[in-house]
Amino acid sequence: MSSPEGLGAPSPAASWRLGLAVRAVRVINRGVRLLRLGSGTVAGGRVGLAIAPGLLRSLLAGRTTALVSGTNGKTTTTRLLAVALGAGSGAGSTEVAGPGATAVVTNATGSNMPAGHVAALADAAPGAMAVLEVDEGYLPELVATARPAVVVLLNLSRDQLDRTNEVRMTANRWRAALAGSPATVVANADDPLVVWAAGGAQRCVWVAAGLRWRFDAVGCPACEGRIRFCDGWGCDCGYRRPEPAVAVEDSGGGVVAAFADGRRLPVELRIPGRFNQANAVLAAVAAEALGVRAAVGLRAMQSVDAIAGRFAVHSIAGAQARLLLAKNPAGWAELLDIVGPSRQPVVVGINARVADGRDPSWLWDVPFEALRGRRVVATGERCLDLSVRLRYAEVDHDIVRDPRHAIARAAGFTGVADPSVALNRGADGATDVGAVEVNAKVEFIGNYTAFHDLLGR
C-alpha cells in the first residue's frame, strides 16, 4: 500500500501518525465491506480520527471540495452534485468511496459527520474532488477544516423535536463560519434563515429554490421583527430576499432553471418531486461554479433513480413498494406532494426511537389531510399516535403494526387487518374492513427508523 499523498505533515512523527490512521481506516472499510456489516464505514473513520485528530484536514488538503448542508435534501443534493461533477470530469461515473482512482469522492451513505467524511476520503485518489454532505451542526467545523471551494445551503427548519434545536442558532453559527470564507456559497434565496447564514460570505449565488415550511422563518434574523412572505419575503428593517441569479420556475412543459443570463434549462429527473428538482438546480449551479456547465450537469442527473434507497421501488411482501423517507414536517409536506398525483395505496410508518425523536407530536404539523380518499394503512411502533392524527384529518385507514404486513394489506393481498388492533375505521364513519381490490404498487412513507428497518431487511 502506498503512503497517502498530500498529507504535507510538518514532522516525521505526525506524518507517520497520519499514514497509520489512513491505513487503519482503509483496512476497517475493507473489512466492513467484506463482512457485509452494512454500508456505513463510520467505525473506520472514528478509529482514524482517534489515531490522528488532524486526519480530516490532511485528507482534504489540496483537494477541491464542495460542502452541502441544510435540514432537508442534503443526501439527494450531494449525490446529484457528485454525478454532475463526474460528468464534467469525463469519468462518466462516480465510484463512491471505492478503491482505485475516481474523479469525485463523496459520502454517499449519508454518514455526514467527520468520521463519515474520513471513511469516504481515506480511499480517494489524491486529485479527486470531494463532494461532502455535512450535518448542519458540523458545517462550521467543516468550513474551517476543508476550506471548500463551494458551499451549498439548502434550507433550515426544525428537525426532531425533543433534541435541542434552535434553527436560528444554527443560522448564526453558519453565518459566523462563512464570514470571510473565500468559498462560493450557493444558497436558497427563498429561505430567510439561509440567506442570513450566507450573508457573511464573500461570494454568493442566490437560487430561488422555494420554501415549503415557513413557520421557522417568520422571525427576522436581522432585527427579530417579523418576516412577511409576499412577492418574495422581507422585513420592515429592510432585510429582504436577494435578487436571485437563478430561479426554479414552472413552465408549461415542466420545471426549468431560469438563469439571469437568459438560459432556460429543463429539469428532468427520474427521482420524483418538485423539491428534488429544486435540489437539482442548486446542485447544477454549484457544479457550474466548479467548472461544469449547468446544462451538462442537469443532463447527467437524469441517470439517478434512487438516493441511498430512497425513491427506489422494492419488492416487499409481494408488492412493489416505493420507499420514501421523511424526517421532519417540512420533509413530510414535500413527500405528500410527491405521492399526491398517484392513486396508489399509501402506507405511513411511524416510530419514535431516539433517532426519530421520542415525541411524535410533530405528526400534527404534517398536512395528512392530503391523503383523504386514498387507501391508507398506518404502521410502525407509533401507529396509534398516527391513527389518532389521521382520524382528525378525516383520513380513513387501517392499522397494521408490522410494516411488511401493512404493505401486504395496502396492496390488497390480505383482507384482515392486525387482529391485535380491534378497531380499524373511524367512529366517524365506521366501515367494514372487507376484501379490497388488489393494487400491487404501494407508496411507503416512513420516518427515520421506520424507513431504515424496512430497507435493511
Partner 1 sequence: MAPLRVIVVYPELLGTYGDGGNGVVLAKRASWRGIDTTLIEATADQRLPEGDLYCLGGGEDAPQTEAAEILASDGMLGRSVANGAVVLAVCAGYQIIGRTFTDAHGVAHPGLGLLDVETKRGAGRRAVGELVAEPIGAGLDIPTLSGFENHAGLSVVGHGAQPLGRVRVGVGNGDGTEGAWSGRVVGTYCHGPVLARNPALADLLLGWALGVDTPLAPLGDHREELLRAERLRAASRFRSWRFRSH
Q: Which residues bind Zn ion (CB under 5 A)?
A: 220, 222-223, 225, 235, 237, 239
Using CB under 8 A as the binding rule, whether residue 230 contacts partner 1 is answered as: no
Query: Which CB atom, from 167 or from 186, has the smaller least distance to partner 1?
Result: 167
What's the min distance (Å) between Cβ of 332 and Zn ion? Answer: 29
Distance CA(101)–CA(239), nearest Å, equals 46
What's the min distance (Å) between Cβ of 215 and partner 1? Answer: 5
Using CB under 8 A as the binding rule, whether residue 164 contacts partner 1 is answered as: yes
DSSP string, 279-341: HHHHHHHHHHHTT--HHHHHHHHTT---BTTBT-EEEETTEEEEEEE--SHHHHHHHHHHHSS
The item of partner 1, Zn ion, none sharing an interface with residue 259, based on CB under 5 to 8 Å by kind, is none
User: In this chain, which of 284, 321, 399, 400 binds partner 1, going by CB under 8 A?
Assistant: 399
User: In this chain, which of 162, 268, 337, 453 binds partner 1, going by CB under 8 A?
Assistant: 162
Residue from 269, 326, 282, 319 nearest 449 by CA: 326
Residue from 159, 116, 119 nearest 136 by CA: 159
Distance CA(282)–CA(286), nearest Å, equals 6
The item of partner 1, Zn ion, none sharing an interface with residue 237, based on CB under 5 to 8 Å by kind, is Zn ion
What's the min distance (Å) between Cβ of 238 and Zn ion? Answer: 7
Query: Which CB atom, from 2 or from 164, has the smaller least distance to partner 1?
Result: 164
Site string for partner 1, 340-379 (x = CB under 8 A): ------------------xx-xxxxx--------------
How far is the CA of 254 from the CAs of 13, 181, 285, 287, 442, in angstroms?
58, 36, 19, 22, 25
Sequence-separated (6 or more) residues with CB below 8 Å from residue 310: 75, 76, 323, 324, 325, 451
Sequence-separated (6 or more) residues with CB below 8 Å from residue 56: 49, 114, 117, 118, 121, 145, 146
The item of Zn ion, partner 1, none sharing an interface with residue 223, based on CB under 5 to 8 Å by kind, is Zn ion
> Residue 267 corresponds to which cell in the numbers above?
429539469
How far is the CA of 352 from the CAs of 140, 361, 380, 381, in angstroms?
29, 10, 9, 7
Query: Which CB atom, from 225 or from 232, has the smaller least distance to Zn ion?
Result: 225
Instruction: Tally helices (H) and strands (E) across the chain.
Output: 14, 17
Contacts with partner 1 in 280-309 (CB under 8 A)? Answer: none
What's the min distance (Å) between Cβ of 168 and partner 1? Answer: 8
Using CB under 8 A as the binding rule, whether residue 215 contacts partner 1 is answered as: yes
Query: Which CB atom, from 213 or from 311, has the smaller least distance to partner 1?
Result: 213
Residue numbers at the binding site for partner 1 (CB under 8 A): 158, 161-162, 164, 166, 168, 215, 218-219, 224, 226, 228, 358-359, 361-365, 384-385, 387-389, 391-392, 394, 399, 421-423, 427-428, 430
